Homo-oligomer: A and B are copies of this chain.
Amino acid sequence: MLNFIEGGVCAAQGFRAAGIHVGVKTHAAWKKDVALIVSDVDCAAAAVFTKNVVKAAPIHVDKAHLADGKARAIIANSGNANACAPHGEENAEKMCAAAAKAIGCKPEDVLVSSTGVIGQTINVQVIEEGVPALYAALERSNEASDAAAHAIMTTDTVKKEVAVETTVGGHTCRMGGIAKGSGMIHPNMGTMLCFLTTDCAISPEMIKTALLETVGVTFNRISVDGDTSTNDTCCVLANGLAGNETITAKGPDYDAFLEALRALCTALAKKMAADGEGAKHLITCTVSGAADEAAAETVAKSVISSTLTKAAIFGADANWGRVLCAMGYSGAAFDPEKVDVHFASAAGDIAVCEKGRGLDFDEALAKKILTEHDVEIRITMGEGNATCTCWGCDITYDYIKINGDYRT
């Protein structure tokens, strides 16, 4: 029994959060820019990071801090990515040290993340000076999770916050997360900041396994603009306060945990895709009938990443030729003459291509379908039984506007 609940990162027992403005974002004093998430007790912890060769300083620090598979807290800022910047690791360590001092734990038990402009020195002093107020603001409440979710936003237009409840070994376990991600989003791990908390008892090894399994089929299946960021981080803290027998191997308990984690991350990933910079549509591409899951994923990713397909959806134009074109250059092997394509949404479902050839279809209905916010591209490949779903968004004038002048 899996239920979506309120509370975000504060849904699980023993987690508190806060988000305040300290001054990293200089141009908008009303915008929160530092978040803190703290567990009452030590947690098993795991994280996955960007595969970009150019990695932000916090990622190097987090890798070292996670060597023992444990953590207590996460401190994160928006407004500056602390990537390719002078004194990057030194400043990331200072953020951990400031948080550790307030919490009363070791700096090595604090994880750190940053997001924002690349290449400028982070104003670590305002963060250090702000930590006491940040610590004082910690609460276990919906409002506190909301504040933390807002404090990690950059060009995001809505906060991304989800929580679920499930049963593991007869105990109610809760799991919640906040995420940010709007530009520089592309499926190759991470693609964002995402902080997950759970009160489920699970070993460091198994939580790492579960996180890797989940990220591959959730966050790695979204794309906004094909740019894989330098800062992508997804980390999870599990404090064990749910009281279940600690999960130390695969089995029914692990499966229940994994199911909840996947539901949580899928929901956050879709929120991220839907809030792609300037986006007006969430595009879901479902490929079925593929030879294997890898081929299905390759094709679906190519379609949601195609700039021309994204522009067509922006224009509510049922230009399925671009879908076939994107399938064709994806790298997957297939016979185009077996491909069927449908466009669908709450307004209906229309077949536009059968066996690789265009169908005569009702253009007015197609336009109506594609005018909905959530649109679906359904592809049947006729090669086998594998399936995969990926999520993206359209490209709009606003994407260009936002990114033509992001720094100033």
Contact = CB atoms under 8 A, between A and B. Distances in A.
Interface of A: 50-55, 81, 83-86, 117-121, 183-184, 186, 188, 225-230, 305-308, 311-312, 314-315, 317, 319-322, 324-330, 332-334, 336, 353, 356-358, 395-397, 399-408
27 contacts: A52-B329, A53-B329, A53-B336, A54-B327, A84-B353, A85-B358, A118-B319, A118-B322, A119-B324, A119-B357, A120-B358, A225-B308, A226-B305, A226-B306, A227-B308, A227-B322, A228-B325, A230-B324, A307-B307, A314-B400, A314-B404, A315-B403, A315-B404, A317-B404, A396-B400, A397-B397, A397-B400
A324 B54 contact: yes
Tell me what chain A mostly uses at the interface: helix, strand, loop, or mixed.
loop
A192 to B, nearest CB: 14
Contacts of A120: 358
Nearest to A51: B329
B53 A400 contact: no
Contact of A308 (B184, B326, B405): B184
Contacts of A118: 319, 321-322, 324-325
Given A53-B334, A188-B329, A336-B53, A324 B84 contact: yes
A307 B404 contact: no
Nearest to A299: B53
Contact of A52 (B85, B227, B325): B325
Given A85-B357, A353-B84, A227 B407 contact: no
Given A357-B119, A395-B400, A327 B53 contact: yes
Contacts of A86: 357-358
A354 to B, nearest CB: 11
Given A117-B321, A405-B317, A329 B227 contact: yes
A401 B86 CA distance: 40
A307 B227 contact: yes
